[in-house]
Amino acid sequence: MMKNRQASANSPGPHDLGHRRPAPHTAASQHSSGGEPTASPVVEVRDLRVTRGGKEILHGLDLSLTPGSVTGLLGPSGCGKTTLMRTLVGVQRYRGSVSVLGSRPGSPAVRARVSYMAQGLAVYRDLTGRQNISYFARIAGERARNVEEVVADVGLGDVIDRPVSSYSGGEASRVNLACALVANPELLVMDEPTVGLDPVTREELWRTFRAMAEGGTTILVSSHVMDEAFRCDQVLLMREGRFLATTTAAELLTQTGKPTVDAAFLAIITGTDTLTKAAS
The site for other proteins (CB under 8 A) is made up of: 52, 86, 89-93, 106, 108, 111-112, 114-116, 118, 120-127, 131, 135-136, 138-141, 163, 179, 183
Rounded Cα gap, residues 203 and 84, in angstroms: 26
If the CB atoms of residues 160 and 179 are measured against other proteins, the closer one turns out to be 179
Rounded Cα gap, residues 179 and 129, in angstroms: 9
Q: How far apart are the first and last CA of the chain?
A: 15
CB of 182 to other proteins, least distance (A): 11
If the CB atoms of residues 166 and 168 are measured against other proteins, the closer one turns out to be 166
If the CB atoms of residues 5 and 113 are measured against other proteins, the closer one turns out to be 113
If the CB atoms of residues 34 and 141 are measured against other proteins, the closer one turns out to be 141
If the CB atoms of residues 191 and 228 are measured against other proteins, the closer one turns out to be 191
Measure Cα distances from 190 to 65, 74, 85, 108 in Å: 14, 12, 8, 20
CB of 53 to other proteins, least distance (A): 8
- Which of 4, 269, 1, 234 lies closest to 258, judged by CA? 269
**Rg, Å, the chain Cα set:** 19
CB of 94 to other proteins, least distance (A): 9
- Which of 18, 68, 10 lies closest to 188, judged by CA? 68
Dihedral-angle region of residue 68 (phi above 0 means left; psi in -120 to 50 means alpha; beta otherwise): left
Burial label for 269, CB within 10 Å (0-12, 13-18, 19+), is middle
If the CB atoms of residues 127 and 279 are measured against other proteins, the closer one turns out to be 127
Q: Are 138 and 144 in contact (CB under 8 A)?
A: yes
CB of 222 to other proteins, least distance (A): 16
If the CB atoms of residues 112 and 269 are measured against other proteins, the closer one turns out to be 112
- Sheet of 70-74, strands arranged across: 114-117, 187-191, 218-223, 70-74, 234-239, 242-247
Burial label for 64, CB within 10 Å (0-12, 13-18, 19+), is buried
If the CB atoms of residues 93 and 224 are measured against other proteins, the closer one turns out to be 93
CB of 27 to other proteins, least distance (A): 24
Rounded Cα gap, residues 175 and 129, in angstroms: 6
CB of 246 to other proteins, least distance (A): 25
CB of 127 to other proteins, least distance (A): 6
CB of 26 to other proteins, least distance (A): 27
